[in-house]
Amino acid sequence: MLQKVYDWVDERLDITPLWRDVADHEVPEHVNPAHHFSAFVYCFGGLTFFITVIQILSGMFLAMYYAPDIVNAWESVYYLQNQVAFGVIVRGMHHWGASLVIVMMFLHTLRVFFQGAYKKPRELNWVVGVLIFGVMLGLGFTGYLLPWDMKAVFATKVGIQIAETIPVIGPIAKTFLSSGEIIGAQTLTRFFAIHVFFLPAALLALMGAHFIMIRKQGISGPL
């Protein structure tokens, strides 16, 4: 049945080359943990991507219940975690995944660094990787405020005051981030928008560039 649907579409649109081009490529021996166990270090990038997918999915579902508003934010998080079936698990995925994705990304960065995989011709991909690192930290920072509990608010105060210490543009950065003088209603809506729209869009674009460059240049050779 599925095969027939696929054939029907393929006959008309010739979709096979599209996915073949993505899926059909050899995994070099030196990155295959089945050949050399130590090659597991090559998995960190893929694991980062895998957790990112889980973050995006769990985040989309959490947004079904979350209210980005100082009166309701905490209550809605409390409700979705304690009253809604599997709320603990879905929020747990997003909460723990947020830390794990940064750990994995860090390990991936270390691998690339110590193997010298960033050297010519892959310098540009290193630059994009560093941008992804920044976006991920931004996602962590903005997401931390959303539950709107004491820890969230004070962590954000600290973070915004760190931003204030940037020379020259510090005060502007502070006002921009907190959306005014007060860290309150407008900070929360602003962080929400950054967390669910701006940074994910940037992340997807950067990850697309990251992967296209890998396919173009291939994985760096064995040491």
Contacting another protein within 88-147 (CB under 8 A): 89-90, 93
Minimum distance from residue 185 beta carbon to another protein (Å): 17
Q: What distance in Å separates the CA atoms of residue 142 and residue 68, rounded to the nearest whole number? A: 12
Q: Per rule CB under 8 A, is residue 78 in the interface with another protein?
A: yes
Alpha-carbon span 68 to 78, nearest angstrom: 13
- Closer CB to another protein, 86 or 114, in the complex: 86
> Which residue among 23, 85, 150, 168 contacts another protein (CB under 8 A)?
85
**Residue 66 and residue 77 in contact, taking contact as beta carbons nearer than 8 Å:** yes
Q: For another protein, which residue of 28, 31, 56, 61 counts as binding (CB under 8 A)? A: 61
Binding residue count for another protein, defined by CB under 8 A: 21
Q: Tell me the closest approach of the beta carbon of residue 47 to another protein, in angstroms.
A: 13
* Residue that the structure tokens 């080359």 belong to: 17
Cα(97)–Cα(149) distance, integer angstroms: 20
Residue 68 interacts with another protein (CB under 8 A): yes or no: no
CA distance 78 to 84: 10
**Would you give the binding string for another protein spanning residues 30-59, x where CB under 8 A is met?**
------------------------x--xx-
Region class of 155: left (phi > 0), else alpha (psi between -120 and 50), else beta: alpha
Residue 166 touching another protein (CB under 8 A): no
Binder of another protein out of 86, 96, 113, 176 (CB under 8 A): 86
- Residue 206 in contact with residue 131, Cβ under 8 Å? yes
**Do residues 107 and 45 make contact, with C-beta atoms less than 8 angstroms apart?**
no
Nearer to another protein, 85 or 182 (CB): 85
Alpha-carbon span 157 to 168, nearest angstrom: 20
Rounded distance, CA 76 to CA 68, Å?
9
Q: Does 84 bind another protein (CB under 8 A)?
A: yes
Among 45, 68, 87, 143, interactor with another protein by CB under 8 A: 87
HSE-up (13 A, CA, CB side) for residue 28 = 11
Least distance (Å) between residue 115 CB and another protein: 28
The residue among 1 and 182 lying less far from another protein, judged by its C-beta, is 1
Sites of contact with another protein (CB under 8 A)? 54, 57-58, 61, 64-65, 67, 72, 75-76, 78-80, 83-87, 89-90, 93
